Every structure is written in structure tokens, then in C-alpha cells.
Chains A and B, each alone.
Chain A
Amino acid sequence: MIEGRTGPWEIVIGLEVHAQVVSKAKLFSGAATAFGAEPNTQVSPVDAAFPGMLPVINRSCVEQAVKTGLGLDAEIRLESVFDRKNYFYPDLPPGYQISQYQQPVVGRGKVALDMLDGTTREIGITRLHLEQDAGKSLHDQHPTLTYVDLNRAGVALMEIVSEPDLRSAEEAGIYLRKLRSILRYLGTCDGNMEEGSLRCDCNVSVRRPGEPYGTRCEIKNLNSVRYVMQAIEYEARRQVETLEEGGTIAQQTRLFDSGPGATRPMRSKEEAHDYRYFPDPDLLPLVLDREWVERLRTELPELPDAKKARFVSEYGLSPDDAGVLVSEKETALFFEQVAIGRDPKAAANWVMGDLFGALNRLGVGVEQSPISAKQLGSLIDLIADGTVSGRLAKDVFAEMVSSGSDPGAIVEAKGLRQVTDSSAIEAAIDSVLAAQADKVAEYRAGRDKLYGFFVGQIMRATQGKANPALANEILRKKLSG
């Protein structure tokens, strides 16, 4: 909701996400798809639209789209059709993009969002279809010429269209992160927004609560969650201000400029292309075998929602903690490797606390963690069996981050093993109390606060290695004796 001068407004948002399919070859040619190759080195005559060249569907891209559809709990359409979307541009060699218009491979589905207030919201998926990416126009290579790199031309994209179910920039952000997480779990898109593997168009409109949808504007080609949220915020405010000043919203395609954080018009409805869609006569309808689809369904990996539920029921984690741990497939895997056979809550605390902190400082993801799950597990074992105190374990952890060594080796090398020999602790306590006889007297006279002072002195005397429980027990006995 936006509180305008004249009352509240509801924001209505639908997203079109373009997700690059993880695949070795392009959607309709055998050319490679690796990111960052030299310009025009991954181009087949089909991609460059030479005369007489014909597209042939890449089965593995279809499989990825179907898996994604299954992951979105969506209808898999056993017959779908590829259409041509016609327009002229140098980075589109055939003069048309092969896409799916009226008969997409995946129909209605849904995504569950975990809202910040702990509730769950279901967002409808309208459809998912396969289409080709275009090449890249390079305007900065020459003062007067535009260069074209066709490496990306023909790479498979999944366009995932949501219903206009989102109601705030924040929800859009949660949706996008959730969708990205599902795609990464499925291994169908790497979700790398910096490399352009995931791009987003936002449809935004505003309305008075309870009224019909307002006129929407589409903001094109946003390549980060932050930009998506900023663009929606700006666009919704712009529309509210326009309407409150008595203006009307023109249906437009707009661009987001991250500098000022504003959207500006790209083209109006009147200037919109007539794409002259028609079924591509070079391709037969895409017909899927029901049994094949069902086999893919049974082979799906555990997805974030199911994993979260299992983490709550199996490990006794709070829904919030479970949600954090499952948001990235790699984190969830790391956590489970640490948690199995150990106290899951301790594992969760270490992963979400110290490990996340360390990774944040290093600016890396859990895949590049300097500490392996096995190593973190060993550290938790050392705490559990009393080898190292919880306090010293923090130091061991820091040493593990910087050196990469195993916790056991660090404990031995630095002599951090906890002292659990009661006679040794008792000796240390005796010498502390003997040296501080006046303080002992004060304590016994009623200055209870001095207790902590004695504990500190004892820990100093034992270099922190005294088992705290034992030390407390003996100290209390001595002081009261």
C-alpha cells in the first residue's frame, strides 16, 4: 500500500522472468553457450541465419523447462508450439525470435512465499515458455559503428510469467529470490544475475483498494533484485503522483536508470511492435511423452519448501532458521552435512552465526567456504565431548578460517584442550584464593559481586582452559567452606 495525499493505493505487480537454461548447447543449434567466450566464437550458421539453415530443438533444453515446470507445481502441456516473433534488429539474425506464444510448454503453477511476518503467500504462475535469446549489440567498441556479438544468439531462455499477485516491491523481491532458489535447486538456471542469466521485466500498476486493475507500465530488463525493488517503488510512486494530480497513466514500456533510481519511457503502446506471431513452419509441434514427464517428476530433487518442512520436523529447527538454511541449495547441503549425527540446533547456530559472519567478511558463498562441513562438524564434536570449551571454540573457529586447519590440530598445537581434571582445577583455585585472601574475606562478608572476579582470576590462571562447570562447582564449595 502507498499512502497518497488523497488516500491509500494498492500496488499490483506481475513479473516476467527470463531465465537462461543451463545447457551445453543452444535451443536450436549445436553451438556452445559458455559465458565469457571471445565474441562470435560460439555461433553456428543456424544462429547467424544463413540461407537454408534450419532449427532443430535441443532435447535437453526441453527437459530443463519441464523440470522447472514441475518444480513450480505447474501443468505440463504435452503438446506445445513454437512461434516466430518477427522484428528487425542486427542482433537478431533471422529477423524473428523463435518463442512460444499461444501454446507454451508449461501452464499454470504456483510459488509459495515466506513473508517477513511469518505467514505464507501463494503467487500464481501464469505460464513458462521456451524461447531464444538475441545476440548482443556493442555500441562502445567504435566511435561510429555498432558491433554485434552472436555468442548469446539462440541460447535457450525460459520466460516465467507470474500472475499480477504481488503487492509490494518487497514481495517482488521475495518472489524473485524464491524463484531463483527453486531454479538453482533444480539446476535448470544458474540464477546468476550479474552475468545476465536471470533478467526481469516488471509490470506495475496502482489502484484504489477493491477497484479494478489500473493501467500498467512495463519496466524492461532489470538485472538485480535491488533494481527490481527500486524500480517498482519509483514507478508506483510516479503513478500515484500522476493520478493524484488528475493525470492518467499511459500504457508504456519503460526503462530503469539505476543512477537516479528512476524509470523513463522507452516506447508507448502506439509505438509497440506488431510482432506478427505465427507458428514456425520449420518446427513441428513439440509433443511430450506423458511417461517421460512422470519420470522427470519422480527424479526431481527436494525443493526448498519440502526441505524447510523437513528441517523443522526432523531437526526441530524453528521455521525461521529452517527458512534461512534452505534458501540456498549449497547452504542447506552444508548444514545437513554438519547436522547429521550431531545436535542440529548447535549446527544451525554455528552455520548461521559464525560461518555466515566469516563468509560475509570474506565476501564468498558457502561453496567457497574456507571451512568444510566436516571441519565444522569436528569442532562441534570437540565441544560436545568437552575437549574444548564453548568460549575457546570461537578462537579455534577463527583460526580454522584463517589457516584452514582441522580444529583438532589447532586445539593440540595451541594447547587449548579443556582442563577437566578436578585436582588441577582445585589447585589453581586454591592458589587464586590464597593470593586474594582479603577479597575472600570481603566476599564472605556479603560482597556477592566478587564471585565473577574469582572466576576471571581462575580462567586467567588456567588460560581459559578450565572446564567452567567444574571450576564453578569447586569454587562455590571453597568459598562457602
Chain B
Amino acid sequence: MSEPSLLALTLAEARDGLARKSFSARELTSAYNDAVSEIELLNAYITPTPERALAMGEDADQRLARGEARPLDGIPIAVKDLYCTKGVLTTAASHILDGFHPHYESTVTDKLWQSGAVLLGKTNLDEFAMGSSNTTSYYGPVENPWRRPGDNRPIVPGGSSGGSAAAVAARAALAATGTDTGGSIRQPASFCGIVGLKPTYGRCSRWGVVAYASSLDHPGPMTRTVRDAAIMLRAIAGHDPRDSTSAPVPVPDFEAALTGDIRGLRIGIPREYRVDGMPREIEALWEHGVEWLRAAGAEPVDISLPMTKYALPTYYIIAPAEASSNLARYDGVRFGLRVEGESLDEMYELTRAAGFGAEVRRRVLIGTYVLSAGYYDAYYLKAQRVRTLITRDFVTAFEQVDCMLTPTAPSAAFAIGERSDDPIAMYLNDVFTVPANLAGLPAISVPAGLSRDGLPLGLQITGRAFDEETVLRVAEVLETAAQFRHLPGFVAGGAA
């Protein structure tokens, strides 16, 4: 098999090919190592790990030869550089973690290696996962492999898991891990034309993942197909006693839930998601989605989530509040960057001023402010109450419907620098994704069409807590109906 055709396989196809011994894990890994080098100009990876990948691939080959194959044996995977990986530089795309090599492995990545997966490298992201365009990384912006036809300006991949999304879309990883705090898996998946799944809060352990906002951070998979997402989720999910917020619930065989049969399912269409200024093409795509699901035998139901308009401001209080505390540990004392000063306070100030970029500083300041004496009740406490109401909206809605269909983002990807002058406009990217984080619900973005200027657009399915099976089943039907076969202008190995 030639190299481009190896890169064109889905995870499920590669798994089956390895099992049939059509190619070896070493061959597959090698092809992907080359792909990682080939897409270097996208800046999707901060730290490629080709030698480690080959060694892991060879181990997988030995197990495959012995007939002891594990679920992901030999599958080359990219890891967002927010996951701590033992002995491998872990940066959170921040200057402040300079030289940090963890002596431990995050639960999610450990599960991947236990399943036989191969680490291709650590992918770029917005600094500490704070951003929606992957332009806040200390290691520079990531470029989307997609371009607007006839326009060579680089496009953002979305964020914060922009490196993972770009790598998967450009065929420089079979799958990737992302994290989603306000849309950081789903929005870049939508912008890059891939599948991104944010599982239920507590489904995947946060242990060993650099924290942004603990009550909103969700590890999850980014893949080329819904089936691949199901396979990845099964590998990384499960109760972890080291994470107190991890849920002690069984892990189903998510792939088995992909029956293609959604007859009789009730699909909620929340009217509050028709926001002002949303491009007509996104509304049209949403209407297509409704028709596709109806055609497959599901029943669309108009529903109301009245608290939706408060989700974004609520998010931008709670997330920075938690971040301001979570990021206090980056103080120059024990690891990472230290800038010496005349006094302890000066060392703190110089280290954190030099170590954190503008967006991180902005959110730490917002978070410190909303938790301050005299402001706590008006901001943080109020936001927590609204969060409860938002969750209640979903609980009420899920009495009528089995899942919901909405757009993933209010726009297609934009050019690098196009919106960087206005943080509020940037925050609006998350308007459709943030509610599921506040409520902790599973949600997936599936590529469903192209914008007028030729960039991918995603549709989002949101489900009940711990009902990823329904979410995945509906998503796969959507994927089949949408027939999204487009490729970005730039893929490793060229289009097969």
C-alpha cells in the first residue's frame, strides 16, 4: 500500500488493516511521522516524538504478531500539549512551563498507551487552552489546512485544540486528544472539517491534564469520523479514583451503539440558538440537518432553552474565576520559568508577567476580580446560580427530547488576525458550545457542509448526561446524510 493511501484511512480502517496485517504498525507510524514533518508549516505540533512513535509502533507490531492485539494497537495519535506526558516536554503552549518534563502520565494518555496507541507528538493550542482561534500560543499560531479558494491568507483552525484539529484534518494524525472547556474540541473540529466529541463531565479523567477551569474542562477525542470518535472514547473513558469529579459509571461499547437506526428519536431544535447576525448559510445548514434526521425517521421537536443568552457571560465569569486560582501554581518556585527579582513579590510579578501571554493575563485578572471581596456575590455567586438554571433548562428539555441539533459555531473559520482586536467578538465563537460545558452534557460536532467561501461548517448534537451512545448514533446518521467528502487544500501525502 502506498503512503498516501495509508494516510487516507480512518482509524477504524487502519485498525482493521493492522489486524489483517495489510500493513504493519511500523509502516503506518513511519507514514505518519513523515506526515508530521510534511505539515510543519501549519505549526500544528509543538513537540513531535518520531523516535518514541517508532518504538511504540514496533511494540504494537510484536503484540499484533503474537495475536495479543489491543484495541488501538499501532494507531498513531496526536496529544494536545495540555496532557502531561511522562518524560516528554509539556508546555500548555505557555512560556511559563519552559522545560517542564512531567514525571507522570495523564490518565487519558496512559489509557491510550495501554490500548496500544502510538504517540506522534504534542500538539499546539491556545495558551492554557484559553482562546478560540489558536492564536494565543507562545509557540505561535496554528494554521488551518483549509484555505478559502482563491485566497491564500492563512485561516485559523479554531481553538483551543487547534493543533489537534489541524493535524487530524491534514492527515498528520489518525486521531487526537483535545480538551473542551467552552467549545475547544467542537469549534476547531467544525473549523477544520473533522469530528470532535466533548463527553459528559466525569466520563474522562482530568488527572494529569493541565487545568484551565476545573468544573468545565472536558478531555475528549478529535477524529475524522464518528465511528473513530466512538472507538477513541471507549479507550479513554472510565472512572479514575485520582479525579474526585470522575464518575463511577461503566463504559459501554460506543461503537456498538452506531446502529444507524434513529427512528422515533425526538430531536430538539432550540429556538434560542437562532442568534442575531448568524450567517444565513449556517441557518440553512441547520435546516438541512433537521431534514436529514427527519428523513432517517427521527422526529424534530421545537424546544426552548430560555437561559441560553446568559450562558456566555456566565461562562466568562466562572471559567476565569477558576483559572485565576488554577494558574496560581505557576509562580516560578518549583518548575518552569523563573525571572529573578529583588524580593519574593517581585520574582512572582516578573515571572508571571513574562510567562503568561496577554489572553491568559486578561482571564486571570477577570477571575481575580470576580472572586474579590465585595464582587463575589454579584459575579461569581450569581453566575453559579445562572449555571444551575441553565442546567435545569436542559433537564426540562430532555424530558421532551432525546438529543438536540444545533450549529456548532456561529461562523466558519476566519483568517488569522481578522478578529484579534476584539476579545468580545472572539468570545462569541463559543456561543453554541458553552452551554454544554456549563451543564456538563455530551456534545459532538460533525462536519456537515461548506460555507459560501469554501470552509467547513459543523453541526452539533447534544445529549443527556452519560448518553454518549445516543449522541454518537445520531451523529453518525447525520454524517452519513451530510456526505461530507471535502478535503482541505493541504493534506499530508496529497489527496489520495
What is the interface of chain A, defined by CB distance below 8 A to chain B?
A: 45, 48-57, 84, 86, 88, 90, 93-96, 146, 148, 274, 276-278, 281-284
Contact A95:B244 (CB < 8 A) given known A51-B210, A88-B348: no
Chain B interface, >50% SS class? loop
B211 touching A52, Cβ below 8 Å: yes
CB distance from B404 to the nearest CB of A (A): 25
CB distance from B406 to the nearest CB of A (A): 26
Bound-state Cα–Cα, A65 to B373, Å: 29
B380 contact from A95, A274, A278, Cβ within 8 A: A278
B244 touching A284, Cβ below 8 Å: yes
A86 contact from B83, B106, B325, Cβ within 8 A: B325
Bound-state Cα–Cα, A52 to B215, Å: 13
A45 touching B103, Cβ below 8 Å: yes
Question: Which residue of chain B has the shortest Cβ distance to A92 in the bound complex?
Answer: B328
A282 touching B214, Cβ below 8 Å: yes
**What A residues does B243 contact at CB under 8 A?**
54, 56
Question: Which residue of chain B has the shortest Cβ distance to A279 in the bound complex?
Answer: B384
Bound-state Cα–Cα, A53 to B208, Å: 6
A88 touching B245, Cβ below 8 Å: no
B73 in the interface (beta carbon within 8 A): no
B92 in the interface (beta carbon within 8 A): yes
Contact A54:B334 (CB < 8 A) given known A276-B325, A276-B368, A278-B376: no
16 A-B pairs with C-beta separation under 8 A:
A51-B84, A51-B102, A51-B211, A51-B329, A52-B208, A56-B244, A57-B244, A86-B325, A90-B344, A93-B333, A94-B328, A146-B344, A276-B325, A281-B322, A282-B211, A282-B244
Q: Mark B206-240, 1 if CB is under 8 A from A, else 0.
A: 11111101110000000000000000000000000
B337 in the interface (beta carbon within 8 A): no
B325 contact from A54, A56, A90, A278, Cβ within 8 A: A278
- B187-216 residues with Cβ-Cβ distance < 8 A to A are 206-211, 213-215
**What A residues does B333 contact at CB under 8 A?**
90, 93, 148
B331 in the interface (beta carbon within 8 A): yes
**What B residues does A94 contact at CB under 8 A?**
328-329
Contact A282:B245 (CB < 8 A) given known A52-B106, A88-B348, A148-B333: yes
CB distance from A45 to the nearest CB of B (A): 6
CB distance from A52 to the nearest CB of B (A): 4
Question: Which residue of chain B has the shortest Cβ distance to A137 in the bound complex?
Answer: B344
- B236-269 residues with Cβ-Cβ distance < 8 A to A are 241-245
Bound-state Cα–Cα, A54 to B207, Å: 6
CB distance from B286 to the nearest CB of A (A): 33
B372 touching A274, Cβ below 8 Å: yes
What is the interface of chain B, defined by CB distance below 8 A to chain A?
A: 83-84, 90, 92, 97, 100, 102-104, 106, 206-211, 213-215, 241-245, 321-322, 324-325, 328-329, 331, 333-335, 344, 348, 368, 371-373, 376, 380
**What B residues does A55 contact at CB under 8 A?**
244
CB distance from A58 to the nearest CB of B (A): 12
Question: Which residue of chain A has the shortest Cβ distance to B367 in the bound complex?
Answer: A276
CB distance from B204 to the nearest CB of A (A): 13
B371 touching A52, Cβ below 8 Å: no
Bound-state Cα–Cα, A281 to B331, Å: 21
Contact A95:B331 (CB < 8 A) given known A51-B100, A86-B371, A284-B245: yes
**What A residues does B214 contact at CB under 8 A?**
281-282
Bound-state Cα–Cα, A94 to B90, Å: 18
CB distance from A278 to the nearest CB of B (A): 6
Bound-state Cα–Cα, A49 to B211, Å: 11
A95 contact from B103, B104, B329, Cβ within 8 A: B329
A276 touching B245, Cβ below 8 Å: no
**What A residues does B208 contact at CB under 8 A?**
52-53
B334 touching A51, Cβ below 8 Å: no
B328 touching A95, Cβ below 8 Å: yes
B325 touching A51, Cβ below 8 Å: no
CB distance from B483 to the nearest CB of A (A): 40
Given contacts A276-B325, A278-B371, 20 further A-B contacts (CB under 8 A): A49-B329, A50-B102, A51-B100, A51-B210, A52-B102, A52-B106, A52-B207, A54-B243, A55-B244, A56-B242, A56-B244, A84-B325, A88-B348, A93-B333, A93-B334, A95-B329, A276-B376, A281-B214, A281-B215, A284-B245
**What A residues does B103 contact at CB under 8 A?**
45
**What A residues does B376 contact at CB under 8 A?**
276-278
